[in-house]
Structure 1
Amino acid sequence: MMKPRAEQPKILISCYYKKSVKGENIVNRHAFAYQISGSLIVQDGREKVIFQPGDFRFNVRNKLAKFVKQPAENDAFRSLSLQFDVETLREFANEHHLFAEGNPNSPPSFKLKNHPLLQNFVDSLQHSLPYFSDGNSELVKLKLKEALIVLLKVQPELKNILFDFQTPGKINLKAFMEKSFRFNLSLSRFAYLTGRSISAFKRDFEKEFTKTPAKWLQQRRLDEAYYLLKEKNLKTTEVYTEVGFEDLSHFSFIFKKHFGINPSHINQ
């Protein structure tokens, strides 16, 4: 049986000429990013952070977030990101005798300090990007290690995030689901992020909510959709992805079946 391919270190340029809304995403890797043009909106279910050109940000592994990439009026959305694979992080931690202390409760994406060291690093990197193709993994790894040195010089506390290699621990199920129901994830992903096996997740869920996860999620999403339509005067096309549905016609069918009225007629 073939072994799964190990994750590779990556340096990426993202470029969008039209607004891009990614309904939900699990941040699979720690990443250091620089906003070149356009803006990025990151929402975690409770808070919203906007990154403008010139901002440095850090994305935290195993966090849920929605991303909206917005091009500038006369320019594309462009960002540069360095994605840290676990192997490179472990190597660096061993080489420099670093380890995480504590377990900081970080948001999925946050701004880093504007610092000349960071600016010099990304300016240099942009000039040499053609050399960092997928076939140059060792060269990419060296650049990622250089980035780690710079990041830890600017914000030493990042070591508590970067070198925390634990899987998510068991957390409060009710608080997590109330914050995260808008994300369209499989039950296995919800279970993983709460630190449970799928069977333990289902058992704990029904004990906490007296409903199956599927029934509770549908009810909670529909209630939130009704609130956004009625109280916030949002359009149906704005609401259905916001509350975790992927298809507009399916959302409209389920909404009418539950409330007895088309979502587009709520404020008429």
Structure 2
Amino acid sequence: MKITEIKSCFVGPAVSPEQFISEHFFLFLAKGIMNGYDGNKHYKLKPGESCIVRKNRLARYNKQKDNNEFEKVIFIFDEQFLKDFQKKHSLSFQNFYSKDAFISIKKDKLIDHFLLSLEPYYNDSGNINDAFSDIKREELLLILLQLHPELSDVLFDFGIPGRLDLEQFMQKNYKFNVNVERLAFLTGRSLSAFKRDFKKIFNETPNRWLVKRRLQEARFLIEEKKQRPVDIYLDLGFEDFSHFSFAFKKEFGISAKNL
């Protein structure tokens, strides 16, 4: 079986549907294209390529089908699994540092053979049989650490985010559709401290400031960049077009379509 014929599968606990990455995961793309953005860089994953998507990061990704097909393999490396793995295996650390939310994995026959080995473990519903999921996760992680020893510094760092410059963080990440509790966590603050500091800096509540800041950017993109409202509302953190349109007209007194 060719690598591009791999079936989609998802192994490990569920992850948040938000644009907040709650657990590390391995992603292999068999068919289609996936575009990612982490607030700093844009990434593109093509068929046959794989990456690690890092926890405690804000990231957005979308898929493009090829001939109406899109196939991917995802293995979640949740914290409890990683702690159990660390107890069983000796690890070496490389003092590796990267801001990237998406870390590219080099192509190698070990990964190819691993992916091909999954076929017998698919059950009738098209998922990896639960009895073998942790064994296959462990096997994959051993392969990844052999190919990229520096991943130990990423995957086995169980610390929480440190305290960040709040104004700089918000100006860079206001487009991500995550709740205030997540934002507080990522800036190294309790929710109450986040709201208190936010009020001092912006003289506004977080939710109100986020809406106004997104709408300001929307108006700039529509008026100056000639972009269509329907093409930008999702990228600006609005969940649906009707909510965006209502908020825009309320803020500026004019419909976004009429600019």
Q: TM-score range by the shorter chain?
A: 0.7 to 0.9
Distance in 1, matches of 2:192 and 2:95, equals 29
2:61 maps to amino acid: F
Q: Unmatched 5+ residue regions in structure 2?
A: 1-6, 11-15
Superposition TM-score, scaled by structure 2 size: 0.86
Distance in 1, matches of 2:108 and 2:49, equals 10
Correspondent of 2:187 among 169, 172, 194: 194
Q: Deviations over 1:45-89 (max 9, x none)?
A: 3321111101111111111111111111x2411101111122221
- Contact 1:24–1:67 (8 Å) recurs in 2: no
Match of 2:232 in 1: 239
- Contact 1:44–1:108 (8 Å) recurs in 2: yes
Match of 2:58 in 1: 64
- Contact 2:162–2:188 (8 Å) recurs in 1: yes
Match of 1:226 in 2: 219
- Deviation at 1:264? 0.8
Distance 1:99 1:188, change over 3 A: farther
Q: Give the length in aligned residue pairs.
A: 247
Superposition TM-score, scaled by structure 1 size: 0.84
Distance in 2, matches of 1:103 and 1:199, equals 33
- Deviation at 1:28? 1.7
- Deviation at 1:107? 2.0
Match of 1:13 in 2: 9
- Contact 1:100–1:164 (8 Å) recurs in 2: no
Q: Deviations over 1:22-61 (max 9, x none)?
A: 9952112111121000111111233211111011111111
Matched, 1:25 2:29: no
- Contact 1:41–1:69 (8 Å) recurs in 2: yes
Match of 1:98 in 2: 91
Matched, 1:38 2:37: no
Distance in 2, matches of 1:127 and 1:40, equals 27
- Deviation at 1:13? 1.9
- Deviation at 1:103? 7.3
Match of 2:200 in 1: 207
